[in-house]
Amino acid sequence: MRLSTGNENGETTRLGGVNQSPAIPRCPAYEYENRALSENRRSENQDHLEIVARATNDAVRDWNVKSGLLSWPQGLESLLGYEAAATKNEIGFWQKNVHSEDRARIAASIRDAIAANNQHWSGEYRFRRADGNYVHLLERALILRDGQGHAVRFVGSLMDITARKQLQDQLCRSQKMEAFGQLAGGVAHDFNNFLTTILGYSDLLLQDLHLKGVLASHVAEIRSAAGRASDLTQHLLAFSRRQPLEAETVEVNSIITNLERSLLRLIGENIHVVCHLHELKDSACIKVDPGQLNQIILNLAVNARDAMRAGGTLTLETSTVSIDKETRPSGGVEHFEAGEYVLINMVDTGIGMSDQVKAHVFEPFFTTKNECAGTGLGLATSYGIVRQSGGYIAIESELGKGTAVKIYFPRVPAPPPPSYKKPVSGKLPTGNETILVLEDDISVRHISVRLLRKLGYEVIEAANGDDAKRLISDRASGKVHLLLTDMVMPQMSGRRFADWLRQAIPDTKIIFISGYLEESLHPHDRRDHGMCFLAKPFDSEQLAIKVREVLDSKP
């Protein structure tokens, strides 16, 4: 092998067959210029990173894995509220402020990523700000390693996703409640058919056999149990927003005043009740089912009582508020329509709720009480009734600071003075008109027919629309004074048959019966304004009064 070097003239020579240039003398000025340029570039890169971090409002943490030192190049104060001088530059600061429920999971995830020689890691967790509140963070990190593959630095960018997380949780909660509502509505509808049969035959036994003594008390117990079961199905339907509410226009102060004595008996002597009712010259009216609103207030009062075991104060307030984009209420309220509302505010001085409890408070069967003390349907039912009535319900609470439940109902004009109504006598109204009963459930159809015939009516019955059409066509006298039809039936809905019957016999009056709320039906199957509705389950008295009321009404 031939080796060559440079000659005195600086010409290139060969060394091992490779051309080499003569060495360039080092220049101090040249090295200074390169060093300055390099530092300038590093400074520009640092400025660039700071600008990007500030633009995104993200925080950046730089963890030296070997030494455990932690630095915060960006966002410690702007995002998390901590002053750099008041924090220790150790990884323990980050660890202790991660939410206790997330700490083990996140630590294990980071440990696994480091052990698996991963270059990147990401995770979501809650972190405590300097003010004590928790924010949801999404951290995406780069894991820097040495030549042997050991992790030396862990640099993460922390993004505040609290708003996004709340929207996701709200959507999931809404979807779960909607799914359960559909199930509850279907079960309650079928169950109401059974209850209608039980109530009807119980009434027949008591009326026809003139039972007395033990037998009468047994049948009365059966009827009472059916009534309680009916209340339960109403709760399920209210939660699913499929309950047929009997809305009336009422003045909100009258509701609270009428309930005041019941509240005092309900919550006990160690709780003081204070009412601050609006003093408006104009009334503050809302359109609700008064019975359901009473139940909501009583349920909330029971919850307040249970939160104040050692005593306290329950305050009921009524007022009117105008809501717009700037004054949208807090407390977990979903999209809020602008307008004027009547507010019922119930505030207790009890133990309050944690954020975790507040996140699930409207879910069905969620309760913090023991199994014997609550079903977990109270607030879910209240939520359904309020939303079905066009209102909103919000909860504001902190542990140790009590709870405020705010119910917003759209304000409506005051109703005209009520007209005189003749009182209903104790005896059930009767008649001799012809009634067509169209019902696919055989038990409900049979009991309805028996009750109506007992009241003196001529009754024809059919299980579906096609059978009913044939009966009408085969009758020598086609006159049918009243159609009593279920709204939900196979093949042909009650509404579609009613439309056909009105063409065939225009003067026929209609009563729709169903356990479903009308708005849950297909738009083409809903009744027109003025058509009458009887909710399942119904008893003999409700059926008799509704039939006579519709038959006596003007066309």
Residue predicted with more confidence, 191 or 6: 191
Q: Report yes or no: 355 and 366 within 8 Å, Cβ to Cβ.
A: no
DSSP code for 369? S
Strand 134-145 relative to strand 151-160, pairing? antiparallel
Q: Report yes or no: 104 and 55 within 8 Å, Cβ to Cβ.
A: no
Q: Report the pLDDT value the prediction gives residue 373, as an integer from 0 to 100.
A: 45
pLDDT at 440 over 60: yes
Which three-class secondary structure state does DSSP give residue 92?
helix
pLDDT band per the 50, 70, 90 thresholds, residue 65: very high
Residue predicted with more confidence, 417 or 539: 539
Q: Report the pLDDT value the prediction gives residue 5, as an integer from 0 to 100.
A: 43
Can you tell me the distance from the alpha carbon of 535 to that of 293, in angstroms, rounded to the nearest whole number? Answer: 18
Q: Report yes or no: 405 and 393 within 8 Å, Cβ to Cβ.
A: yes
Mean pLDDT, to the nearest integer, of 271-280? 89
- Other C-beta atoms within 10 Å of 541: how many? 15
Residue predicted with more confidence, 56 or 348: 348
Residue predicted with more confidence, 88 or 446: 446
CA nearest 345: which of 276, 399, 391? 276
Q: Can you name the residues that pair with 276 across neighbouring β-strands?
A: 317
Can you tell me the distance from the alpha carbon of 207 to that of 220, in angstroms, rounded to the nearest whole number? Answer: 12
Q: Can you name the residues that pair with 190 across neighbouring β-strands?
A: none
Q: Report the pLDDT value the prediction gives residue 524, as an integer from 0 to 100.
A: 56
pLDDT band per the 50, 70, 90 thresholds, residue 454: very high
Q: Report yes or no: 438 and 497 within 8 Å, Cβ to Cβ.
A: yes
pLDDT at 418 over 90: no
Helix axes 252-267, 290-307, angle to 10 degrees: 40
Give the helix/strand (H/E) hosting 272: strand 271-276
The angle subtended at Cα 346 by Cα 340 and Cα 349, nearest 5°, is 145
303-325 per-residue burial string, b: 16 or more CB within 10 A, e: under 16: bbbbbbeeebebbbbbbeeebee
Mean pLDDT, to the nearest integer, of 439-463? 93
Alpha helices (H) in 209-289, listed in sequence order = 213-239, 252-267
Identify the residue whose tokens are 């070997």.
Answer: 66
Q: Report yes or no: 244 and 546 within 8 Å, Cβ to Cβ.
A: no
Which three-class secondary structure state does DSSP give residue 448?
helix
Residue predicted with more confidence, 251 or 262: 251
Q: Which residues contact 18 (CB under 8 A, 6 or more apart)?
A: none
C-alpha torsion sign, points 262, 266, 270, 272: negative
Q: Report the pLDDT value the prediction gives residue 35, as an integer from 0 to 100.
A: 63
Residue count of the chain: 555
Residue predicted with more confidence, 130 or 188: 130
CA nearest 405: which of 396, 418, 417, 392? 396
Can you tell me the distance from the alpha carbon of 390 to that of 22, in angstroms, rounded to the nearest whole number? Answer: 89
pLDDT tens readout for residues 166-213: 777 767 766 666 666 666 666 777 788 888 889 888 888 887 777 778
CA nearest 550: which of 515, 502, 495, 510? 510
pLDDT band per the 50, 70, 90 thresholds, residue 74: confident
Mean pLDDT, to the nearest integer, of 147-160? 93
Q: CA-based diameter of the chain, in Å?
A: 138
pLDDT at 241 over 90: no
* Average predicted confidence (pLDDT) for the chain: 80
Q: Report the pLDDT value the prediction gives residue 529, as an integer from 0 to 100.
A: 54
Q: Report the pLDDT value the prediction gives residue 321, as an integer from 0 to 100.
A: 92
Min mean pLDDT across 17-21, 64-68, 191-195 is at 17-21
Mean pLDDT is highest, among 241-245, 316-320, 359-363, 518-522, for: 316-320
Identify the residue whose tokens are 């809305």.
Answer: 247
Q: Report yes or no: 181 and 241 within 8 Å, Cβ to Cβ.
A: yes
Share of residues in the chain with pLDDT > 70 (%): 75
pLDDT tens readout for residues 287-342: 998 878 888 888 888 889 988 988 899 999 999 999 887 776 665 555 678 889 99
Enter the tokens of residue 41: 């570039």
> Burial level of 498, CB count in 10 A (0-12/13-18/19+)?
buried
Provide Rg for the chain, Cα atoms: 37
Q: Report the pLDDT value the prediction gives residue 239, as an integer from 0 to 100.
A: 53
pLDDT band per the 50, 70, 90 thresholds, residue 98: very high
Q: Report the pLDDT value the prediction gives residue 530, as an integer from 0 to 100.
A: 54
Can you tell me the distance from the alpha carbon of 111 to that of 123, in angstroms, rounded to the nearest whole number? Answer: 12
Can you tell me the distance from the alpha carbon of 221 to that of 215, in angstroms, rounded to the nearest whole number? Answer: 10
pLDDT at 79 over 50: yes
Residue predicted with more confidence, 236 or 479: 479
Residue predicted with more confidence, 277 or 44: 277
Mean pLDDT is highest, among 34-43, 152-161, 352-361, for: 152-161
Q: Report yes or no: 462 and 438 within 8 Å, Cβ to Cβ.
A: yes
pLDDT at 488 over 50: yes
> Burial level of 155, CB count in 10 A (0-12/13-18/19+)?
middle
pLDDT band per the 50, 70, 90 thresholds, residue 426: low
Residue predicted with more confidence, 224 or 175: 224
Residue predicted with more confidence, 265 or 136: 136
CA 262 to chain centre: 29
pLDDT at 408 over 90: yes
Share of residues in the chain with pLDDT > 90 (%): 34
Mean pLDDT, to the nearest integer, of 23-31? 55
Which three-class secondary structure state does DSSP give residue 126?
strand
Alpha helices (H) in 268-377, listed in sequence order = 290-307, 355-360
Q: Report the pLDDT value the prediction gives residue 420, as an integer from 0 to 100.
A: 41
Residue predicted with more confidence, 457 or 179: 457
Q: Can you name the residues that pair with 466 across neighbouring β-strands?
A: none
Residue predicted with more confidence, 366 or 455: 455
Q: Which residues contact 418 (CB under 8 A, 6 or more apart)?
A: none
| DSSP string over 501-538 | HHHHSTT-EEEEEESS-GGGS-GGGSPPTT-EEEESS-
Mean pLDDT is highest, among 124-128, 374-378, 478-482, for: 124-128
Q: Report the pLDDT value the prediction gives residue 491, as an integer from 0 to 100.
A: 79
pLDDT at 378 over 60: yes
267-281 per-residue burial string, b: 16 or more CB within 10 A, e: under 16: beeebeeeeeebeee
The dihedral over CA atoms of 44, 50, 55, 61, expressed in degrees to the nearest 10, equals: 150
Q: Report the pLDDT value the prediction gives residue 227, as an integer from 0 to 100.
A: 79
Q: Report the pLDDT value the prediction gives residue 6, as an integer from 0 to 100.
A: 47
pLDDT band per the 50, 70, 90 thresholds, residue 160: very high
Mean pLDDT, to the nearest integer, of 87-105? 91
